[in-house]
Amino acid sequence: MTSPKEFEEKDPLEMVSVFMEVPSEDASYLEMTRTFVEEYMLMGWSDDAIFELFQNPFYKATHNILQLKGEEYVKTILKEIRNG
């Protein structure tokens, strides 16, 4: 049995927030949206549950996509990926 890892003041594996520039190309938004949708579908999430991620401002990346591209954009990608 492995003992728990001791706390380190400067943990190299600590999760940190990173802000990135907003993509300027539509292809970037398409790729990001497809990646989010595919990932959650692989985990067994329903389309409604995935769409809620885009509606929730707490999830900044998905919410920003919805704000910039609109509900129909996200719903269309959800349908395309779900139906193959």
**Lowest-confidence pick of 22-26, 38-42, 61-65, 73-77:** 22-26
Band the pLDDT of 17: cuts 50, 70, 90. low
Q: What is the pLDDT of residue 4?
A: 74
Q: What is the pLDDT of residue 15?
A: 64
Q: What is the pLDDT of residue 37?
A: 97
CA distances from 72 to 1, 29, 77 (A): 50, 14, 9
Model confidence pLDDT, tens digit, residues 3-16: 776 767 777 777 66
- Mean predicted confidence (pLDDT) in 33-53: 96
